[in-house]
Structure 1
Amino acid sequence: MTSVSTERLDGVDGGVGLIRSAEQSRMRTIMMSSVIGTTVEWYDFLLYGVAAALIFKKLFFPAFDPLVGTLASLASFAAGFIARPLGGAIFGHFGDRVGRKTMLTITMFMMGGATFLIGLLPTYAQIGVWAPICLVTLRIVQGIGLGGEWGGAALMVVEHAPRNRRGWFGGVVQVGFPLGIVLSTAVFAAISRLPEADFMTWGWRLPFLVSIALVVVGLIIRLRVSESPEFLKAMKEEAPVKLPLLEVFRSYKRSFFVSVGLKISEVAWVYLLSVFVVMYGTQTVGISRGVMLNGVLIAAAVEFFTVPLAGYLSDVLGRRPLYFFGAVSTVLAAFPLFYLVRTGDATTVTITMVVCMSLGHAMLFGPQAAFIPELFGTKVRYSGASLGVQVAAAIGGGLTPIAATTLFATTGRIESVAALMAALGVITFIATLLAKETYRESLSAS
């Protein structure tokens, strides 16, 4: 009797072990797919930002005076952000009706194709005004693709994850962003070592052209992922909502505006650091391009650890405490940031970038992939989370570098830019006050 019982128990234990092993394998595939996919998407999107800050004004907008050329280059950078809400609305609609997986495949095709074509574009010297027109058009395609990417990638992981680990898994997915920064910045830093003539004629094209290889790898892995179980469960229970976006504003209006506020300081902070501060350091302070790019590179590399750490802590402490900490950090660091960069010392600049990126960005960005989707129900989660994040990205990431450049040019005082950054931190702090705590809630009950 004892031996039979033992065999039965062993069989049960073995079955449970196999189930757990299968679950762990499935989560690893989902995580790998999402991290690689988001890394490719962010690499493509951020590559443009580095190029806009350093070379596009010379290659595509040379007919303008230096200030107007800089603004025009940043405006083309902003076009991608302004297009992101459109991508969020389109892919959110079909993601809530058809599924998350299909939309993620399409967004990768869009982003990869647009980035590759930018690398083939003739410059202003070759085709005149058509060069910036084509550049901005491809940037808009990038924006639409990324607008649909983030929500789907975040949902695929968060909706697969156990309730008590959504922050951690979401934080790991967010590592795709600093990985994208590292790849795009490192590639440009390497290419920048070419002789100036080679860099300006063909060298700058290489980072855009090689992205096609990353897209192929991302697609192969992404196609292996199964559809979100939360989405499949919701579809079995009742028919999909006909107009998810309309339902967001009907039933989740507060969540939508809160999500915009939660995102706006984080996205403005990171793009001011990686775009405007790079321009300020190189063009105003006189720091070498290599020092500024290395500062961004090292700061992003540190986020490999601080972003998932923040996601993990949000599972233990809650989403709101991490957000309060991050928002306060952006307010307190806004003015010291520029004073420290103005020293021109390479070590000081690098440490400043690392601290500001980890405290002001990672503490907000890590919990975000779980926090914002948790504010919406499954039937409209793709639409609600995507649109809220992408509207904030259009304002905070696209328009803020232009506003900062205009403020600095108009006032001649970098403190005006610091005040803008601090004000955005206050907005995120208020949004956190208005947000409900979600880390212990079931996604099905949202």
Structure 2
Amino acid sequence: MPLLVVGISVLVLLLLMTKLKLNGFAALLLVAVGVGLVRGIPLEKIPDVLSEGIGGQVGDTMLTIGLGAMVGRVMGDSGAAQRIAGKLLNAFGPRGVQVAMVVTSMLIGVTMFYEVAFIIIVPIAFTLVRVTGAKLLWVGLPMSIALSTMHSFLPPHPGPTAVAATFHASVGLTLFYGLFIAVPVGALIALVWPRLPFIRAMNPSIPPGLVSERVFEDEEMPGLGWSLGVALFPVVLIAGAAVTDMATSGSSPFLHFVAFIGSAPIALLLTLLLAVWAFGPRIGRSLAEVSASCNSAAQAMAMILLVIGAGGAFKNVLVEGGISDYIKDQTHGWSISPIVLAWLIAVILRVALGSATVAVVTASGVVLPLLAGGGVHPEMMVLAVCCGSIAFSHVNDPGFWLFKEYFDLSVVEAIKVRTTYTTVLAVLGLGGVLAVEWALDVLSL
């Protein structure tokens, strides 16, 4: 049974990494090869499947994570991150640091990919941890939860946008309804989860090399305008491109240019160039010092990128092994509410494959025929599928490894933290979708 293979492979991976202490990169590749053999992928094709999975995942994330880490380290070594962190502390107070992270993450995360926003904000979270003496998860977890919610629930992120196209739903209305669900649900979990006893018992450290250890005096730090300007520069480019794409149609050289500079890699590359000058020669730091900051960030990212790439290989083996087709066949014809069915299929696919994109695309295809006669608003179907796709993030999800490595958690700890919060987000999200659908039905009577 394909789902049994998935379950056993996850258990083997946990055994290799927790009991045998095998490196995560090697363990993921080893389990991926085993799954490929069991699922009948020809021997000669397994290396290509692994390479495609690594290439696709690293190709999607390396530029974003690498450039973002360099920007963050340049800001940290110049004192810019400390300047922003200090202003957040002044505005919200030491006891309001979590609220500051939630507000910042939700504003930035509305239009930015989880990974991109994570890389941009995490240096500020690290600096707040160092300045306040708070635990890493106390500050960083609200940030991650808020970003996960925005990325998974709302267009113009790729999953929700793709599903909206499948269901012929209004992207604008999906965003409008989704905000009523995502903001309260995300904020609730972001503020509650770090307070749970099993989370508070964990005390990971900031991974070395990702943040400056120096504490700057006020006169040594760049001004708030430059610090915020550089931090928000990629947000403006990416958000501007997303809004332009939603508000316009057709094709023109100007729209192509906006899409180009608003793509995450180009936006971050431009931001890095701006940061190199703004926090280098402009304030009297040599280019050699700025280059050293970039090199330090790149070295710290090497193992993180390897593990994320191996996670992509594991995911690709599951997809090529026919797991998604099996689930699609088994769930076809289930007679339950279209909203619940859409959510449930997305959950099953997410658990089995780890890919939220595959989960939403496949689930939307399965339940699309039910939409015509189901009397359900298509925007609610979009949100149901997207809520389901966030559930049960675990070892076959490359985003799981990004979270684990940046917060320096063991595999078991990361499962306790991330798998639980993503699952609760999915369940509460479904409740929100059903409530909004009911409200819309009442208002239309």
TM-score exceeds 0.5: no
TM-score by length of 2: 0.28
Structure having the higher helix fraction is 1
